[in-house]
Structure 1
């Protein structure tokens, strides 16, 4: 177990894809805390030498954070807040964008157009937690809508989207806060402010994960027959070609002044879990976690309580069926989790230690012991070569980065 950062400030890892492809560097941001978006730099640290480098420094009062790394190239994608923020336009869920940094150059991922008629391929609000697909061609994100937020905050529902490499997209620029983007961006989830109790309708889509390169799974909040929120697992199949990404379905890709942007034709969300009758219904929101597929795309992992109320890991096939309870721990899993690159194990925090469980048997082995402070539940991330796992831990009042060997 090795501490690799030592400076008197926070170092914040994103929940996935924080390592460079050569397994030598960890990318992070420097937010004062996970909930405060006031960091000004995106950085990386060499896990062998402790050397640090600034990848990007924000200017004009903007802030940046939540960085992930391309699977094969020296590219970094992260949230960028607005430049020159003022009383009418500050950082918020619906006032942020994705940017890609490469070789010292930065370009907007998504375009934004908030002036009707809107532009297909552009968003009308803010994107967040950008993650490259396994092949690096696409970027997933969560989304909040400025247009509907201004109309009625209750209509600004969290959704999931994808940026596809079929841009650029250049709005007309009728508002000073609009901007062009290099990718074609669309939503792939569908929400409604008033889901019918007991139905597959949802009013929030979030914590998504890639399932191979052509599917995305996410958590969607359904309502039980009694009107109680029950988070369930959903999946969508993505278009196969550029024409499919740009073909509208039963509603405009760009949305209207009354409605959220709609998914492309043929992108239909399918519900995978049906837990309303369980003793403890629904996927858990505490600890916060993102659903994750194994590298083979054959199993999706998520967190749910067992009949004793203990938070365990569960697996389900992308085609559906009965979920399989993987772990049978006596205490709660305490963190977000990730698959080992081999697909043979998953890593997480259990009993305030970094743990791995076998993806077939669920048998748990601990990789660490005797932490000075409990590991953060925000991120447990394997290196691409599978030899190391990284996490955050508070040291002398600040979050520092730690790594240990996996024994693989």
Structure 2
């Protein structure tokens, strides 16, 4: 399989692609933030998009009063159904004493026809009495469900973070949440700490400070993805229409931290609270999990998920959750498991390790990933593997996650390019040759 490569951006700034959903629904535009370093969201002030045919660049959003301490924007994704871009936005009052951080960020969207006009998606309320449907901290790495209606994210809680400074038995534990369309109003007090939102937000994964060794309890839930376009089929033939796969940290029998794959099944209405578990949380407890949410572990391995940081991905039919782990030779490869659990299947058998994040094409046939200073694609059905770029130098190799276009005929990815004695992260397009 052959691809033609085109450099889409060339400005003397960063152009960081998110790990998923960077193409507009019609495949014409690619969105990015202007980081030149993955760790620098807090000091990044703009979201842009580039046209894959004309290379026209449009600024979609710029923060007000941007400093090295915030507010900061990044990790931009396109809705699969609307001309809307969603991204991380630091809290608006950021300064040296209140910088951008894990508990000080939220989700903001912009409709591309109205650039610069922010739409606050998830509500934030850090002062009791807390507001149902609002959260108290930082939503991060937002991902749209395939129908564009629900959004998942990872989450850290400001209230628990502050409590942990006074109570050593408490920790702010990373977890996973979702938001669903339903406006939530929060009274603003002039500090810019709180905001209302157009979505109702809840936490959906169960974490605990002290997981029992040998159990399925976890103290961290992270790097999640939606399962399938329409969920997945259960062993009894029924369909679970909304579900998320995520990585969770367990303690094995020896007490060692091991990362395994988990699934959380979601109810049709995630806005109903369980008894004694308020969705908004309390001053001494994290937000509660909605009624009807069911969490379970699907992998039981010796060494768990291993390799570079990556987000889980599933095939469009929902039959396979893909993740990275080391094979018997100690080489990082791609593996897959059913959402129902069971036998783990090795997908790639390369002589080199997969070195970064991966994505599956819209038809569920191919997976693309970086390795050996190149990009490769592997057929999920056969394991056949092809190098689709040159083999670059260490300084110019692919960086981050390659993303497929909605029709599967193109891939965009990042790599650094020298310009006037400096190096900037640029966007490259690989167009399939038929």
Taking structure 2 as the reference length, the TM-score comes to: 0.89
**Aligned with 2:101 (options 87, 92, 96):** 92
Structure 1 residue aligned with 2:144: 132
Cα distance in 2 for partners of 1:376, 1:22 equals: 25
Q: Does the CA-based 8 Å contact 1:170-1:181 persist in structure 2?
A: yes
Structure 1 residue aligned with 2:233: none
Matches within 5 A, 1:269-280: 269-275=295-301, 278=302
Q: Does the CA-based 8 Å contact 1:81-1:97 persist in structure 2?
A: yes
Q: Does the CA-based 8 Å contact 2:50-2:56 persist in structure 1?
A: yes
Partner SS, residue 399 of structure 1: strand
Cα distance in 2 for partners of 1:47, 1:320 equals: 40
**Aligned with 2:131 (options 101, 113, 119):** 119
Cα distance in 1 for partners of 2:220, 2:398 equals: 26
Structure 2 residue aligned with 1:218: 246
Cα distance in 2 for partners of 1:227, 1:60 equals: 47
How many residues are treated as equivalent by the alignment?
400
Partner SS, residue 269 of structure 1: strand
Cα distance in 2 for partners of 1:385, 1:306 equals: 32
Cα distance in 1 for partners of 2:333, 2:374 equals: 16
- Worse-superposed segment, 199-208 or 154-163: 154-163
1:152 aligns with 2:140: no
1:353 aligns with 2:374: yes
Partner SS, residue 119 of structure 1: coil
Matches within 5 A, 1:347-386: 347-371=368-392, 373-386=395-408
Cα distance in 1 for partners of 2:28, 2:308 equals: 29
Cα distance in 2 for partners of 1:363, 1:311 equals: 17
Partner SS, residue 195 of structure 1: coil
1:404 aligns with 2:416: no
Cα distance in 1 for partners of 2:207, 2:329 equals: 32
Cα distance in 1 for partners of 2:77, 2:377 equals: 22
1:22 aligns with 2:26: yes
Gaps of at least 5 residues in structure 2 are 231-241
Q: Does the CA-based 8 Å contact 2:361-2:367 persist in structure 1?
A: yes
Structure 1 residue aligned with 2:76: 67
Structure 1 residue aligned with 2:333: 312
Instruction: Tell me the CA shift for residue 249 of structure 1.
Output: 4.9
Instruction: Tell me the CA shift for residue 405 of structure 1.
Output: 2.3
Structure 2 residue aligned with 1:77: 86
Structure 2 residue aligned with 1:209: 225
**Aligned with 2:8 (options 4, 8, 32):** 4
1:251 aligns with 2:277: yes
1:283 aligns with 2:305: yes
1:294 aligns with 2:306: no
Instruction: Note the aligned Cα RMSD (angstroms).
Output: 1.6
1:188 aligns with 2:188: no
Cα deviations across residues 300-322 of structure 1 (Å, max 9, x unaligned)?
11111111111111111111111
Partner SS, residue 429 of structure 2: strand
Cα distance in 1 for partners of 2:64, 2:129 equals: 31
Taking structure 1 as the reference length, the TM-score comes to: 0.94
Cα distance in 1 for partners of 2:88, 2:15 equals: 16
Are the structure 2 counterparts of residues 140 and 335 from structure 1 closer, same or farther at C-alpha, using a change threshold of 3 Å? same
Are the structure 2 counterparts of residues 65 and 96 from structure 1 closer, same or farther at C-alpha, using a change threshold of 3 Å? same
Are the structure 2 counterparts of residues 274 and 377 from structure 1 closer, same or farther at C-alpha, using a change threshold of 3 Å? farther
Structure 2 residue aligned with 1:388: 410
Partner SS, residue 161 of structure 2: helix
Instruction: Tell me the CA shift for residue 86 of structure 1.
Output: 3.0
1:13 aligns with 2:17: yes
Structure 2 residue aligned with 1:33: 37
Q: Does the CA-based 8 Å contact 2:396-2:417 persist in structure 1?
A: no
Q: Does the CA-based 8 Å contact 2:399-2:415 persist in structure 1?
A: no
Instruction: Tell me the CA shift for residue 137 of structure 1.
Output: 0.1
Q: Does the CA-based 8 Å contact 2:273-2:288 persist in structure 1?
A: no
Cα deviations across residues 344-396 of structure 1 (Å, max 9, x unaligned)?
11000121111110111111011112435443342111111111111111100
